[in-house]
Chains A and B, each alone.
Chain A
Amino acid sequence: MGFLDIRNVTKSYGAVEVLHRVDISVQEGEFLVLVGPSGCGKSTLLNMIAGLEGISSGEIAIKGRVMNGVHPSKRNIAMVFQSYALYPNMTVAQNITFGLEMHGTPKAERQAALEKVGKLLQIEGLLNRKPGQLSGGQRQRVAMGRALVRDPDVFLFDEPLSNLDAKLRVDMRTEIKKLHEKLKTTIVYVTHDQIEALTLSTRIAVMYKGYVQQLGTPKEIYDAPANVYVATFMGSPAMNVIPAKVVVQDGTPHAQIKDANGADHMLKFSQPNLVSWAGRDILLGIRPEAITDPESADRNSGNIVRLRNRVGVTEPAGADTFVTLELGGKDVTARMRADVTVRSGQDFEFAINMEKAVAFDPKTEDRIRP
């Protein structure tokens, strides 16, 4: 049993089930990120934990206490909203202490808590301002202050960074991470940004169409995606998914793929159990960074496959250069170092790190586990 337990929870609106049998157990101090595209049910799940939406079936428990039907204010949770939801008529100080006031905390205690939070978030100078006089980043801090001051069991974040500009978002992301490492609080964080999910979380739940597609650590999600959806949603640029055929040579399975010139290539798998797929079609998943020029290939990898292919286009992106090539009739993206010398149309030798390759069943789109 965990600190926050979501057991077989579903949500239906009338006859339409939007969230199907979600089962997640969160340990104390964990940073769980719910990530997925809009409409996947992640915010609904968060609102159910908060008590803002009813639970159609199943149970949500915090610290072993079942919370179904318990009023949001009695769950000892705090929530940071996407729009910050600061009360426009109150000062920053009043905004932060409003929850304490509603819970009947004496004034002296409120003041002490306010000072502590103000110092922690470096907003002491703003306490007498109204939210309308603050910048986006400052409002974000106040919204977090309002959550922190309550000292809740669970923090709920609903896309807290999506209203900030790109640079500020990165800064605040780091601050949230620092804050979590300092306070060791339990956090459930909703976002549609896979980078946020990978950087912040201790565990990620990738959601799509009302199902939790995969629950795991950022590394598990990234290196061992459970299905094609998770593989392509997490990571930027997305994982290349190439139709291929399994061919067994000398007892080891290979992926047979046509290149841009129509020539066949054999890519040796590092996953022996694919032998049982001999002669059948699969989907081969390769991350862009696993396709490089031979000099930059991972020296620790025991399975680098080289192949010559025509270069499609090159996209210098500062730190990396993205190179496209055609494999199996699909445009495949390779991530190379910035100063690689490669021109479009040229025949180039690519190195593919097949140790990092994954295979999917083309029918179910689930990963073929090693």
Chain B
Amino acid sequence: MAAIEQDTAVRTSLVTRIFIYGILLIFLAFYLMPLFVMVANSLKPLAEITGGNMMALPRQWTLDPWRSAWSTAQIGVEPTGLRPYFINSILMVVPAVVISTILGALNGYVLTKWTFRGDKIIFGLLLFSCFIPFQIVLIPMATVLGQLGLAGSIPGLVLVHVVYGIGFSTLYFRNYYAAFPTELVRAAMIDGAGFFRIFWRIMLPVSGPIIVVTVIWQFTNIWNDFLFGASFGGRNQPMTVALNNLVQSSTGVKEYNVHFAGAILAALPTLIVYIVAGRYFVRGLMAGSVKG
């Protein structure tokens, strides 16, 4: 009796499994298709794309489109490739992410552990800033940057992204710290630790997961931003704007293979952040879940 039941169970589960894996494979192929097209075509000479099939593997493998996209392609009027703009993006993203994350953590710390009269209103206003569309602030922002003498510069872009990022990073940290026991802060106060000492020694060491979440969020948003980069970048435009200038150029031959390579280059850093930090994120969640 039991053996029969077991047989049935195994047979059903095998059919189900084939079904599930089949569906999953179809979805996988569907999601990977764009990446495949991009990678495959970025490794072909242009003639193979214009004269052949977008879906085919390269007959003649070449890295020239990548080299061209990186260092020699025509961006706007200069044949500089994407390299200088990539560097611009890095110079913009790293400080903007670091500063907005630190400020968000400090805000979250103050709003949960050093509450003051009106803290809820302040938090509400910060939350409100998350919902302001980018377009609305373009003109006021331009005025402010002009008055600060930061127009068309990388520090200007950093400022814009920090201001925009604080809302979200504060939200993340506040909610994370709200669940953090206040008794620990009180214990540290009695032990003689001050405001920053408690933050540095007690709060930050347990903030790993939320730091990773914030960094992923901020990095992706700031790296992928086009509007602020195009509006306030001036001569120091970020990668997204440069990619647009590369792909949308209305003169000359459309070098699709170079465009594909450039697009991958532009997407690469966020991809790396996800792959590297995503693992720490999961690890952080696991560490949190087994605490007593």
Cβ contacts B184-195/A at 8 Å (1 or 0 each): 101111111100
- A79, B187: Cβ atoms closer than 8 Å: yes
Q: Contacting A88 at CB < 8 Å: which of B190, B191, B291?
A: B291
Asked if B51 is at the interface of the complex by the 8 Å CB criterion, the answer is no
B181, B183, B192, B202: which contacts A99 (Cβ < 8 A)?
B192
B14 within 8 A of A: no
B191 touches A132 (CB 8 A): no
* A-side interface size class: 20 to 34
Number of A-B contacts (CB under 8 A): 60
Chain B minimum-CB-distance residue to A79: B190
Chain A positions within 8 Å of B192 at CB level: 73, 99, 102-103
Contact B202 A87 (CB under 8 A): yes
Cβ of A72 < 8 Å from any Cβ of B?
yes
Cβ of B188 and Cβ of A52 under 8 Å apart? no
Q: Report B-chain residues with C-beta under 8 Å of the C-beta of A98.
A: 188, 191, 193, 201
B189 touches which of A72, A78, A87, A103 (Cβ 8 Å):
A72
- Please name the residue on chain B nearest to A80 by beta carbon: B187
Q: Which of A52, A79, A85, A134 contacts B181 (CB 8 A)?
A: A85
Q: What's the minimum C-beta distance from A81 to chain B, rounded to whole angstroms? A: 5
With CB as the reference atom, state the residue of chain B lying closest to A74: B192
Asked whether A99 and B191 contact (CB < 8 A) given A83-B181, A89-B206, A132-B291, the answer is yes
A83 B183 Cβ-Cβ under 8 A: yes
B191 touches A82 (CB 8 A): no
**Which residues from 144 to 198 on chain B have a C-beta closer than 8 Å to any C-beta of chain A?**
181, 183-184, 186-193, 197
Instruction: Tell me which of B188, B190, B290, B292 contacts A87 (CB under 8 A).
Output: B188
Q: Are B190 and A50 in contact (CB under 8 A)?
A: yes
Find the A residue at minimum CB distance from B207: A89
- Taking the closest CB of chain A, its distance from the CB of B206, in whole angstroms, is 6
Q: Within 8 Å CB of B183, what residues of A? A: 81-83, 85
* Closest chain A CB from B185 CB (angstroms): 9
The answer to whether A87 touches B184 (Cβ under 8 A) is yes
Contact with B along A41-83 (1 / 0, CB 8 A): 0000000001110000000000000000001110001110111
Contacts of A71 in B (CB 8 A): 189
B residues near A78, Cβ cutoff 8 Å: 190
Please indicate the chain B residues that have their CB under 8 angstroms from the CB of A102 in the complex.
191-193, 197
B205 interfacial contact with A, CB 8 Å: yes
Q: Tell which of A71, A78, A83, A85 has the most Cβ of chain B within 10 Å.
A: A85
Partner of B187, one of A85, A89, A132: A85
The residues of A that contact B189 with a CB separation of less than 8 Å are 52, 71-73
Q: Please report which residues of chain A, range 110-138, place their CB below 8 angstroms from some CB of chain B when the two chains form the complex.
A: 131-132, 134
Residue from the set B181, B187, B206, B292 with the largest chain A CB neighbour count within 10 Å:
B187
Question: Smallest Cβ distance from A264 to chain B, in angstroms?
Answer: 57
Q: Which residues of A contact B188 (CB under 8 A)?
A: 87, 98
Interface string of B203-240 (1 = CB under 8 A from A): 00110000000000000000000000000000000000
Which residues on A sit within 8 Å (CB–CB) of B193? Answer: 73, 98, 102
Cα–Cα distance between A79 and B183 once the two chains are bound (Å):
10
Q: Nearest CB to that of B180 among chain A residues?
A: A88
| B291 near A81: Cβ-Cβ < 8 Å | no
Q: Taking A99-B192, A103-B192 as contacts, is the C-beta distance between A81 and B205 under 8 angstroms?
A: no
Contact B190 A72 (CB under 8 A): yes
Min CB–CB distance B182 → chain A (angstroms): 9
Q: Hey, which chain A residues are within 8 Å of B291, CB to CB?
A: 88, 132
- Which single member of B186, B206, B290, B292 contacts A85 (CB below 8 Å)? B186
Cα A103 to Cα B201 in complex, Å, equals 15
Chain B residue at minimum C-beta to C-beta distance from A103: B192
> Which of A52, A72, A73, A132 is in CB contact (< 8 Å) with B292?
A132
Give CA–CA (A367, B184) in the complex, Å. Answer: 43
Q: Which of B52-95 contact A (CB under 8 A)?
A: none
Q: Of all chain A residues, which has the CB nearest B197? A: A102
Nearest A residue to B290 via CB reads A132
Question: Is A73 in contact with B186, judged by CB distance below 8 angstroms?
Answer: no
A51 vs B186: C-alpha distance when bound (angstroms): 10
Residues of B with C-beta under 8 A to A134: 292
Complex Cα distance, B282 from A252, in Å, reads 80
| Residue of A52, A99, A103, A132 touching B186 (CB-CB under 8 A) | A52
With A83-B181, A89-B205 in contact, is A77–B190 under 8 Å at CB? Answer: yes
User: Could you jot down 10 A-B contacts, CB within 8 Å?
Assistant: A52-B189, A73-B191, A73-B192, A81-B183, A85-B183, A87-B188, A87-B201, A89-B206, A146-B187, A146-B191
Which residue numbers of A lie inside 8 Å of B, CB to CB? 50-52, 71-73, 77-79, 81-83, 85, 87-89, 98-99, 102-103, 131-132, 134, 146
**Given A83-B183, A85-B187, 16 more contacts at CB 8 Å?**
A50-B186, A51-B190, A52-B186, A52-B190, A73-B189, A77-B190, A79-B187, A79-B190, A82-B183, A85-B186, A87-B188, A87-B201, A89-B202, A98-B191, A99-B190, A146-B191
Q: Shortest 10 CB-CB distances between A and B: which pairs?
A: A102-B192, A73-B192, A99-B191, A89-B205, A85-B187, A85-B183, A81-B183, A72-B190, A85-B184, A72-B189
